[in-house]
Amino acid sequence: MSDFFTTASLVFVVGSGIRLATPFLLAGLGETIGQRSGVLNLGVDGVMLLSAFGAYWTILETGRPVAGLLVGLGVGLVMGVVYGVVTVTLRAEQGVSGIGIFLFGLGMSDLLFQKKVGTPLPIRGFGDWHVPVLSRIPVIGEMFFQHSVLVYLAFLLVPVVAFLLNWTTFGLNVRAVGENPAAADSLGVSVARVRYKTILLANGLAGLAGAVLSIELGIFQQNLTNGQGFIAIALVYFGAWRPVGVMGGALLFGMVSATVLQWKTLGLVSGAASSLTAMAPALLTIVALVVISRTVGQPAALTRPFERGR
């Protein structure tokens, strides 16, 4: 165990935890915005898969990572329009629609991958960017300031989303619509329009998350996300619908995963214990939430379609 507590080892674990947390964080931020306005989106994983494929294929064909990122975002927005039509205009049941989107995304991304890409070739990503000055700080520099641009993007979005939700009129409307859409409606706020916007934001961020995933990994594969979209949804509850809380949850999950990985690399854990330690991130997330034991409730109108007069 003393091997684990060396500087080099700990530096790696923190950096790795940050990297692992990034897709959860992006998707989780998006889901937070959506849920704050009363919309539950269980299809995040499917959107991530579609955008991951879109980004991968774009870069494969054009060689331009930025184009891939934009295509991923675009795919997310398109799925956002679809989800908006289904749940806001057509007022369909949100939970099931989300599962339908998930299944569609899972199958479609796999189908397109098998038909459009013969032999999967690796793609080049963005590379790491060393933040000037800050990355030279011993220890801290390596942990925090030598990551890919996409990681910085994700973490910078946390204060942006927090600001959006808490300090703008839009954010006020979002929260009102999520807590009491009838009251908001009577005050002249278009519930449908607000929800459309939040759904677009939510799915756009999910699209970004998927693109970041395939770009960082440099490849695509059937079910690339491996359930990360659902973990991101779970983290929204962990974070009590606050962007900072979601970031905390993503980092907790990422760090525990990274710690477990490092133990295995160093040979501290092997054989049977290996499976058991793989449970650690999930178990610790539950335990942490029980311990922190917040009593913040969910947005009151979460999952209820809104219809004037009902």
Partner 1 sequence: MTGPRLAGLLVPVGAVVAAFLVGGVMLLMLGVNPIRGYGALLDGAFGDLDALADTAIKSMPLLLVGVGICIAFRASVINIGGEGQMIAGAIVSTLVALAVPDLPRVLLVPLVLLGGLLGGAIWGAIPGALKAYSGVNEILSTIMLNIVAVQLMNFLLRDLIMDPYEKDGGRIPQTRRLSENSDLPLLPGDTRIHIGVLVALAMAVLAWVLLWRTSLGYRLRAVGHSSAAARYAGMPVKRTIVAALTFSGAMCGLAGALLVFGSESHRFVTDGSSVGFTGSAGFNGIVTALFGGLHPLWTIPSSFFFGGLLFGANAMQRAVQVPAALIVALNGMVVVFVVSSDRLRRSIGQRLGPGLEEAVNEGVEDLE
Partner 2 sequence: MQMRRNRKWMGLAAVLAVLAMLAGACGSDEEAVDDGLFRIAVVAPSASNDLAFTQSIVDAVHVLDGVDVIDVTDGTFIVADAAAAVRGYAEDGYDLVIAHGSQYGGSLQEIAKDFPDTAFAWGTSNDTFGLDNVSAYTAASDEGGYVMGAMAAAMTSSGVIGVIGPIAVGDAKLYVDGFVNGAAAQDSGVTVNVNYIESFSDVALAAEAAEGHIANGADILTGTAQMVVGATGVAAENGARWFGTQSNQTSLGEDMVVASQVYKWEKALQGIVDGVKNGDLGGRSHTINLENGGIVIEFNDAVDAGDARAIGEGLIADIKARMVDTGA
Residue 6 or 226: the one with the smaller Cβ distance to partner 1 is 226
- What's the farthest any 2 CA atoms get from each other in the chain? 66
Which of 178, 281 has the CB closer to partner 1? 281
| Residue 102 contact among partner 1, partner 2, none, beta carbon within 5 to 8 Å by kind | partner 1
Query: Could you list the residues that contact partner 1 (CB under 8 A)?
Result: 42, 46, 82, 85-86, 90-93, 95-97, 99-108, 110-111, 114-115, 222, 227, 230-231, 233-235, 237-238, 271-272, 275-276, 278-279, 281-283, 285-286, 289-290, 293-295, 298
- The label of the residue with tokens 């790795």 reads 16
CB of 278 to partner 1, least distance (A): 5
Q: Which among 61, 211, 216, 51 has a CA at the least distance from the CA of 127?
A: 216
Instruction: Tell me which of partner 1, partner 2, none is bound by residue 266, counting a contact when its beta carbon lies within the kind-specific cut-off of 5 to 8 angstroms.
Output: partner 2
Q: Give me the residues paired with residue 148 across strands.
A: 128
Q: Is 8 or 156 the residue whose CB approaches partner 2 more closely?
A: 8
- Between CA 274 and CA 292 the distance in angstroms is 28
Minimum Å gap between C-beta 160 and partner 2 is 25
Are 201 and 32 contacting, i.e. CB atoms less than 8 angstroms apart? no
Q: What would the two tokens of residue 28 be? A: 């989780």
Minimum CB separation of residue 272 from partner 1 in Å reads: 5
Residue 76 Cβ vs partner 2, minimum distance, rounded to whole Å:
19
Rounded to whole angstroms, the Cα distance separating 76 from 238 reads 24
Residue 261 interacts with which of partner 2, partner 1, none, CB < 5 to 8 Å by class? partner 2
Q: Choosing among partner 2, partner 1, none, which partner's interface includes residue 131 (Cβ < 5 to 8 Å by kind)?
A: none
Interface with partner 2 (CB under 8 A)? 8-9, 12, 16, 19-20, 23, 93-95, 110, 113-114, 117-122, 213, 216-219, 221-224, 226, 228, 257-258, 261-262, 264-267, 270-271, 274-275, 278, 303-305
User: Could you tell me the smallest distance in angstroms from the CB atom of residue 255 to partner 1?
Assistant: 16
Q: If DSSP codes are grouped into helix, strand and coil, which group holds residue 241?
A: coil
Q: Which C-beta is closer to partner 1: that of 8 or that of 286?
A: 286
Select 188 or 267, whichever has its Cβ closest to partner 2.
267
Minimum distance of partner 1 from residue 306's CB (angstroms): 12
Answer with the entry of partner 2, partner 1, none that 119 interacts with (C-beta below 5 to 8 A by kind).
Answer: partner 2
